[in-house]
């Protein structure tokens, strides 16, 4: 993948917003694939079924008025060098994705992952398997801030862009900036999981 260097030394438990804002932007530079129908869902799910660890995230169209939140419009799953964006709107079906979401042998990792699974179950019922939240891993390493932007800054000394976060995720086609944002969030989740697991393993070996 791109030259992603982890912070090898002592990790700060937290960073100020001003400190994070001074860091260079991080961006996914691998291949981005967008799926919008059952045929492409099946094709990409088949590719992903061989993976052990996937970065995971969802995006919803923001709701700027009072009332229920919009359902997920996008699921992102990422490997080391590929990101797969599955469009759930307007069809609103998980279809072949359920095989990945229920598989306990494929780790899907991200932030606030229980909330994401809960929201996805509003579209189609499934039994989540293999989901691992980054927050407990961070807390095991005595990191106080567990948001994706904070963790990226703490572990990789780089800054996640949030410019597309509140954009319209139901829009078709997605803009290049939306695709890059969605891919980067899922990919960095995987990178963070791997670096935190490695640090925890090293800590237990040292003790």
Q: Total domain count for the chain?
A: 1
Q: Which H or E element spans position 72?
A: strand 72-78
Q: Note the pLDDT tens digit of each residue in 6-27.
A: 676 788 888 888 898 899 999 9
d(CA 48, CA 97): 10
Query: Looking at residue 203, what is its pLDDT?
Result: 80
Domain that holds residue 54: 17-206
Query: Looking at residue 66, what is its pLDDT?
Result: 75
For residue 26, what are the contacts with CB-CB under 8 A and spacing of at least 6? 4, 152, 156, 158, 159, 160, 184, 188
Q: Note the pLDDT tens digit of each residue in 55-78.
A: 999 999 998 777 778 899 999 999
CATH of the domain at 196: 3.30.420.10
What stretches of 64-172 show up as alpha helix (H) in DSSP? Answer: 97-102, 113-121, 134-140, 148-156
Q: Note the pLDDT tens digit of each residue in 101-138.
A: 999 999 999 999 999 999 999 999 999 999 999 999 99
**pLDDT surpasses 50 at 1:** no
Is 6 inside a domain boundary? no
* pLDDT confidence bin for 206, thresholds 50/70/90: low
- For the chain, how big is the Rg over CA atoms in Å? 17
First to last CA, the chain: 32
Is 8 inside a domain boundary? no
Burial of 23: CB neighbours in 10 Å, binned 0-12, 13-18, 19+: middle
What are the tokens at 175? 């803009």
Is 36 inside a domain boundary? yes
**pLDDT surpasses 70 at 3:** no
Is 155 inside a domain boundary? yes
Is 77 inside a domain boundary? yes
Is 1 inside a domain boundary? no
Which whole-number Å values give the CA distances from 182 to 58, 75, 204, in the listed order? 8, 9, 34
């Amino acid at each position: 993948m791109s030259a992603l260097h982890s912070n090898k030394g002592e990790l700060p438990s937290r960073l100020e917003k001003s400190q994070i804002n001074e860091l260079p932007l991080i961006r996914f530079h691998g291949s981005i694939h967008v799926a919008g129908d059952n045929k492409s869902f099946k094709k990409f799910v088949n590719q992903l079924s061989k993976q052990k660890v996937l970065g995971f995230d969802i995006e919803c169209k923001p709701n700027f008025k009072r009332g229920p939140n919009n359902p997920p419009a996008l699921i992102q799953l990422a490997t080391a060098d590929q990101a797969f964006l599955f469009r759930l709107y307007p069809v609103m079906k998980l279809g072949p994705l359920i095989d990945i979401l229920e598989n306990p042998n494929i780790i899907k990792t991200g932030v606030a992952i229980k909330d994401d699974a809960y929201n996805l179950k509003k579209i189609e019922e499934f039994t989540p398997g293999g989901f691992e939240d980054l927050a407990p891993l961070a807390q095991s390493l005595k990191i106080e801030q567990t948001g994706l932007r904070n963790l990226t800054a703490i572990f990789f000394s780089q800054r996640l862009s949030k410019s597309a976060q509140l954009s319209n995720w139901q829009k078709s086609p997605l803009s290049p900036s939306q695709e890059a944002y969605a891919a980067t969030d899922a990919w960095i989740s995987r990178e963070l999981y791997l670096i935190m697991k490695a640090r925890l393993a090293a800590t237990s070996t040292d003790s």
